[in-house]
């Protein structure tokens, strides 16, 4: 650790928590992850643990399960020769906060790519479009734990974002890049459409429930993160995906995520 990073760690009392990407991988277990096998430096995180299993079985070569604590399944395999893990995060800011914190801080994970669904607001958006969260706004109190005395702007790693956009273009996917809002409410069930109109006025293009804590943990622990979503709902247009549409669109997005890993693998 450089003198600069040591000074930051000392000032915040977080020296033991910051991930270095080195010896952290030797941790035996955490309260929610008890590895039965290796965890790759790059992790794809859907919310649903069964979707993590689906990613492993459909896309990865020689996948091996590394976690089953609390039913939160995690698998490690390879994609075109590059080690990749897939693990569920659960739903919501707190659950993503727990699992991404433990992966970054205890197991040497360098990059986490959130692969999930979102409610889209863009006038030109269609179901199945990929959205990259260039920033994550929130009404959550998550960042109060840092005692910053201000508002923290949660953003992704630019290298991952740049690679993700390049991957989407190369694969011919429709996509949008913009500020998103991470809330505690599932967009389809939110009581008031007026809430979304207010966020839209500020340029918000989509809503999700996990990106904010992921981006905060990456910033705090020295990791890299990117949240990408498939648009599953366009509430203001009254459009929602059926099960078959979800599978097709998620496969398309997962391919973008895996190509993003390939494009950035040398930085591990």
What's the half-sphere exposure (Cβ side, CA atoms, 13 Å) at 140?
26
Report how far residue 238's alpha carbon sits from residue 257's, in angstroms, rounded to the nearest whole number: 28
Name which residue leads in pLDDT, 4 or 221: 221
- Answer yes or no: is pLDDT of 123 > 70: yes
Specify the residue for token string 């005692």. 147
Nearest-CA neighbor of 43 among 93, 94, 114?
A: 114
3-state helix, strand and coil shares in percent for the chain, rounded to the nearest 5: 40, 25, 35
CA atoms within 13 A of residue 160's CA, in its CB half-sphere: 27
Active site residue 242: no
* Burial (CB count within 10 angstroms: exposed 0-12, middle 13-18, buried 19+), residue 168: buried
pLDDT at 35 over 80: yes
Residue 6 confidence (pLDDT): 58
Residue among 129, 157, 208, 233 flagged as catalytic: 233
Q: pLDDT class for 3, splitting at 50, 70, 90?
A: low
Task: Report d(CA 61, CA 81) in Å as an integer.
Answer: 8
Q: Which residue has 């727990």 as its token pair?
A: 98
pLDDT at 12 over 70: no
* Average pLDDT estimate for 155-168: 98
Protein fold of 33-267: Rossmann fold (3.40.50)
């Amino acid at each position: 650790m450089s003198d600069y990073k040591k000074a930051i760690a000392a000032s915040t009392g977080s020296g033991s928590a910051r991930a270095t990407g080195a010896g952290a991988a030797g941790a035996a277990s955490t309260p929610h992850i008890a590895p039965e096998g290796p965890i790759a430096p790059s992790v794809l995180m859907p919310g649903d643990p069964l979707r993590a299993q689906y990613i492993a079985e459909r896309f990865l070569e020689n996948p091996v399960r590394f976690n089953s604590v609390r039913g939160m399944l995690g698998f490690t395999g390879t994609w075109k020769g590059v080690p990749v893990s897939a693990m569920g995060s659960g739903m919501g800011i707190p659950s993503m906060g727990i699992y991404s914190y433990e992966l970054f801080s205890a197991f040497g994970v360098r990059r986490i790519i959130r692969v999930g669904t979102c409610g889209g607001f863009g006038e030109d958006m269609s179901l199945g479009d990929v959205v990259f969260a260039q920033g994550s706004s929130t009404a959550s109190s998550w960042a109060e734990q840092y005692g910053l005395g201000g508002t923290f702007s949660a953003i992704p790693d630019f290298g991952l974002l740049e690679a993700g956009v390049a991957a989407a273009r190369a694969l011919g996917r429709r996509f949008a890049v913009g500020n998103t809002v991470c809330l505690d409410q599932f967009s389809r069930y939110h009581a008031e459409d007026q809430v979304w109109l207010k966020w839209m006025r500020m340029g918000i293009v989509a809503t999700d429930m996990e990106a904010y804590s992921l981006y905060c943990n990456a910033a705090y622990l020295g990791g890299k993160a990117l949240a990408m979503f498939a648009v599953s709902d366009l509430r203001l247009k009254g459009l929602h995906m059926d099960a078959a549409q979800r599978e097709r669109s998620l496969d398309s997005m997962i391919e973008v995520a895996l190509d993003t890993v390939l494009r950035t693998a040398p930085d591990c």
